[in-house]
Amino acid sequence: MRKIIEQSNKNLTESLAYQLELNTIPVGISARHVHLSLDHIDILFGKGYQLRIHKELSQPGQFAAKESVMIAGPKGTIDKVRILGPARCTTQVEVSLTDAHRLGISPPIRDSGDLAGSSPITIIGPKGSIYLKEGAIIASRHIHMSEEDARQFQVHDREKVHVVSQTKRGVIFSDVKIRVSADYRLEFHIDTDEANAAGLTNQDRVWILK
Amino acid sequence: MRKIIEQSNKNLTESLAYQLELNTIPVGISARHVHLSLDHIDILFGKGYQLRIHKELSQPGQFAAKESVMIAGPKGTIDKVRILGPARCTTQVEVSLTDAHRLGISPPIRDSGDLAGSSPITIIGPKGSIYLKEGAIIASRHIHMSEEDARQFQVHDREKVHVVSQTKRGVIFSDVKIRVSADYRLEFHIDTDEANAAGLTNQDRVWILK
């Protein structure tokens, strides 16, 4: 009898946890990082160099490379900046506002890939360096999700929602853009400033508020 | 005639600006800083040393000193940390969560002065250094205001409110504590992580949401 009650309680707890989890979104914190084009990998690491996988990321096919670079602005440098692979068409540097102050640059807050008029930045590798007239941004907060997630949360691609974090340092993030794609895994992407301001760590869970 | 219209428009604009301002609160961003006791000033700077005023702060009687110190944790140091005067009964170090990671410490999020069980930290001055078993905190966000402000905003001392920032990187801060005193000047105090996450700079204006 006791065993049956225990099992039943266990099922109930698991079911409740599942129900709760259904309505929440795990947090993924992006530290400063660089996406490189093949041409720029050649310049920074040598002709034909292949990035090596250090760790798979939560978004399918994406990885943190073993290689890192230094980035530099007029006021300072930051070394050991991780490279995210695979290679992209256009090189892009994503930093926090804290990093931007340290480097002495004023990048716009942008969606990934929207680089027109973004900040100039220098990237230094072991075999060479490049100066980008534009390429540094502060990434806009956003939620990646699949089409099934979008149906469940009753949101659509590019919709803007609020996101609630119920930490000790509670914050409601406004203007969070929904990004829907079959390739995306459910995750609320913020940078380290946003995570620190809200006291959030990776895999904490947040809610959508429409 | 034209002059009268111009003057009238000017009065209207000023009146509107005043009305708008009545309902908003200016932002004051606290960078990392240290409050020192007289005993500790003696150890760090030499017996009987007097802090020199670099800049008056917005809260009456408070000032940033010309002197600075280095602070250290098990993972790193941060130099040129500003000292805020005048001297206090108890030495206290206020850092951001970003700073805490750099130092390798885990300070609690606390109101100023609430130091029981806070993080150990080392403070290094030109004439000596001190090791505090407790003393480092991350300051809780709060709003300073006078009793008249409190009546106008219809809030009371220690009440918790939401604060809305309508920047490009909009954030609603939850759990913001109201602090009422005749000595206080109206200001929303946040740290650099919180300011950066919301894209706020000093003297930007925010709203209370009850």
Q: Which of B56, B65, B68 is nearest to B84 (CA)?
A: B65
Per-residue pLDDT at B210: 78
Query: What is the total residue count of chain A?
Result: 210
Interstrand relation of B63-72 and B53-56 (parallel, antiparallel or unpaired):
antiparallel
Per-residue pLDDT at B3: 64
Asked if A173 and B171 count as a contact pair (C-beta separation under 8 A), the reply is yes
The pTM for the full model equals 0.84
Q: Which of B51, B62, B36 is nearest to B121 (CA)?
A: B36
Cβ <8 Å between A171 and B170: no
* Preferred mutation among B174, B177, B200, B209 to probe A, highest tally of A CBs within 10 A: B174
Q: ipTM of the assembly?
A: 0.79
Cβ <8 Å between B171 and A197: yes
Query: How distant is the Cα of A15 from the closest Cα of chain B, in angstroms?
Result: 30
**Structural domain boundaries of chain A?**
31-139, 141-209
pLDDT average, residue stretch B89-118 = 96
Tokens of A66: 């073993």
- A171, A174, A196: residue with CB nearest B97: A196
- What's the CA gap between B136 and B184, in Å, rounded? 24
- What's the CA gap between B53 and A69, in Å, rounded? 42
Q: Exposed/middle/buried for A205, CB within 10 Å: 0-12, 13-18, 19+?
A: middle
> Among all chains, which residue has been given the structure tokens 């980035």?
A71
Q: Is the pLDDT of residue B37 over 90?
A: yes
| The residue type at A166 | Q
> Which residues of chain A are within 8 Å of residue B96 when distances are taken between CB atoms?
196
Q: Which of A153, A159, A139, A154 is nearest to A206 (CA)?
A: A153
Per-residue pLDDT at A58: 87
Per-residue pLDDT at B164: 95
Per-residue pLDDT at B19: 52
Residue B10, phi-psi category: left (phi > 0), alpha (psi -120 to 50), beta (remainder): alpha
| For B96, nearest residue in chain A (alpha carbons) | A196
Pick the CATH number of B141-209 from 2.40.40.20, 3.30.43.10, 3.90.1310.10, 1.10.3720.10: 2.40.40.20
Binning pLDDT at 50, 70 and 90, where does residue A15 land?
low
Terminal-to-terminal C-alpha distance of chain B? 46
Give A118 or B20, the one with higher predicted confidence.
A118
Q: Which residues contact A84 (CB under 8 A, 6 or more apart)?
A: A33, A34, A35, A57, A62, A63, A64, A65
> Which residues of chain A are within 8 Å of residue B98 when distances are taken between CB atoms?
98, 192-193, 196
Q: Exposed/middle/buried for A32, CB within 10 Å: 0-12, 13-18, 19+?
A: buried
> Which residues of chain A are within 8 Å of residue B175 when distances are taken between CB atoms?
168-170
